Amino acid sequence: MSANGSSKYPGVTPPIAVAESSPKEKELTASLLEELRRQGMLESEEEAKTRTIVLERIAALVKKFVRTVSLARGLSEAAATAAGGKIFTFGSYRLGVHGPGSDIDTLCVVPKHVSREDFFDVFEHMLKDTEGVTEVSGVPDAYVPIIKLKILGIPIDLVMARLALSTIPDDLSLQDDNLLRNLDERCVRSLNGSRVTDEILRLVPNDSVFREALRCIKLWAQRRAIYSNVNGFLGGVAWAMLVARICQFYPKAVAGAIVSRFFIIMYQWNWPTPVLLKPIEDGPLSVRVWNPKLYPSDRAHRMPIITPAYPAMCATHNVTQSTQMIMTGEFKKAADIVDRVVVGKANWSELFSKHDFFHRYRYYLQIIASTGSSDLQIKWAGTVESRIRQLVIKLEYVESLELAHPFIKGFEQVSYCLNDEEVRAVAQGDISEAVAKRKKQDIEGKEGASAVHSTTFYIGLAVEPRQPGSIGPRRLDISYPTTEFTKLVKMWEKFDEQKMGIVVRHIKRSPLVQSAFSGVADAPVCSAALPDYVFEEGERQPRPVLKRPKKEATDRSSNTSPDMPNKKPRHMLPETTTTTHPHEHFKENGNTLPHVNMVTTVDRPPSTAGLYTSNVKDPAEIKSPQLSRSENVALTTVAPSAR
């Protein structure tokens, strides 16, 4: 019997409705699936066959790896061969919602005499020496240690788990909780991906409906730039669990009906009430299970979505105040679009319109990670990206900063420089037209020339609207969060100031944004604007902000009036409006790159710059036109509180 008292339907509560979908909802589903095909969400038959070949090759390599290590440990030929080794897929591929070019999340399960060090020392080198394998990069210090690579052009993310078994049989199943005994936390986390994926599929009432709806939600989240766990949004597993929960609410509904209810229910959801697919269970290990009544850090989770496999964990612990606000706004926009689709006033294609991140804000933070080699850049850029969430959290404490919006990916570039001056400029984000056009062959054989590998990340800054009656330009001091961020990334144990560069600066949406504000000329404002590479070909770039007519100064408008309040920032933030750190140089291939150059002054825009606060309401106040009265009533009872 399931947790809701019914053996028929999975979930922690009874369904909201068990009626079959209407003919109209079935028509909407047909048109939705056709739109997903037009959007290129389905891979070709040829690519599907390639993925099968790739997985077969990985499975063979894992067995070879285990056998090699077993022989090195002194096992006989027969015992080394019998030691086995097996792979399991998880994530989007296992869920059946991967698309063209998607990676395959793969778990390698090995016996107890094969160590994690062997995985990175032996297996990683074995992969590099294998024909057809490219871009191999191990990240042993990651929260879940991983090797990234490509086989026949298919991206693969490999994680490893060592079980307390002498051999790994080909028919091994990971469903038994007792397999987690005597494992370290990293192995438990590695196993968790596969166990969670399988449990999600077990807990949805209809696999095909779940997959169709999830394809839609996944594409929508990617297009709206809110698909990224590391940056504080939701990752693939979290989106899958949300869709699975809506499927549990409507077990007989078709995909179109699931999608039409998904957005409004998520918009109304009474966070931080957790999303659960099954009751949280105890198990055989003395490991931490998500429990907000016991652990203060669990109570701090803003949008808890709890994994269904033991040990239960929060898949959304990275969500911040800003990213929650952004996702809430996107839920509302999507709900409005689907409302219009239902009544025939819009098409499904509108739901998948591209984000407007680089058109939305007046100011952005630009974080540039740079090195002199491609292999080192992968590790350094990944480290910097994993810390950006901490910068967002610190920015949220800055007075008058309404929202800090991280973009979900970095922009990678390789710049070919002829001299130290060009190298320094590139590391600071200033890439001249000449450098941008230069190719690798243009610097070959030239003394002092080298390549700079850089990855640039962006955070949009939304400032509170100017209060009525406020006079004169005001500055927003963000020097403390940015300074602390650079300190944080340099605390990485493998940080080498001679080889790695980190630059944080603020830039403007348009070169003429500054002229929209009076009195700004005295401030040391960064002159850079958003670079062309953040826009797609043919995309219209933001129009420059026209200069306001200058008004005659009066005593009343003077920003030096003694009547103006001298309000200090919260949390004792530094009063200085600009922080510029000395250049700390590093050399790579004979070139010197600046380590930090941080300019962190922005000006407060007028009240028209308000973004989310005006349209994001308290979910408890929303009465949705999409849900019937009985559904709205049911929704208030189906989300058990863990608080």
Which residue is it, tokens 């028509």? 27
Give first-to-last CA distance, the chain, whole Å.
26
Q: What are the structural domain ranges in the chain?
A: 23-39+204-354, 45-197, 357-464+479-510
State how far the alpha carbon of 515 is from the alpha carbons of 121, 519, 549, in Å.
56, 9, 10
Which residue is it, tokens 């002054």? 601
Distance between CA atoms of 455 and 378, rounded to whole angstroms?
A: 9
Among 151, 65, 66, smallest CA distance to 104 is for 151
Which residue is it, tokens 């979910």? 619
* CA-CA-CA-CA dihedral for 511, 516, 520, 526, to nearest 10: -20
pLDDT for residue 634: 62
pLDDT for residue 524: 33
- Which active-site residues does the annotation give? 92, 103, 105, 157, 218, 227
CATH for the stretch 357-464+479-510: 3.30.70.590
Among 362, 324, 379, 282, smallest CA distance to 602 is for 362
Are the C-beta atoms of 239 and 196 separated by less than 8 Å?
Answer: no
Where the chain has pLDDT below 50, the residues are 1, 512-527, 545-625, 640-643
Distance between CA atoms of 16 and 624, rounded to whole angstroms?
A: 15
Which residue is it, tokens 């020339």? 449
3-state secondary structure labels for all residues of 37-74: HHCCCCCCHHHHHHHHHHHHHHHHHHHHHHHHHHHHCC
3-state secondary structure labels for all residues of 69-122: HHHHCCCCHHHHHHCECEEEEEHHHHHCCCCCCCCEEEEEEECCCCCHHHHHHH
Are the C-beta atoms of 46 and 40 separated by less than 8 Å?
Answer: no
CATH for the stretch 23-39+204-354: 1.10.1410.10
Q: Out of 3.40.50.720, 3.50.50.60, 3.30.460.10, 3.40.1350.10, which CATH number does the structure's domain 45-197 have?
A: 3.30.460.10
Question: Would you list which residues are annotated within the binding site for Mg(2+)?
Answer: 103, 105, 157
Distance between CA atoms of 166 and 75, rounded to whole angstroms?
A: 11
| pLDDT tens digits for range 121-169 | 999 999 999 999 998 988 887 778 899 999 999 999 999 999 999 999 9
pLDDT for residue 633: 59
pLDDT for residue 264: 94
Question: Would you list which residues are annotated within the binding site for ATP?
Answer: 90-92, 103-105, 157, 218, 227, 236-237
| C-alpha neighbours within 13 Å on the C-beta side of residue 353 | 12
pLDDT for residue 573: 29
List alpha helices for 269-302, DSSP H. Answer: 296-299
Among 158, 152, 197, smallest CA distance to 51 is for 152
Are the C-beta atoms of 14 and 6 separated by less than 8 Å?
Answer: yes
Partners of 591 in the β-ladder:
588
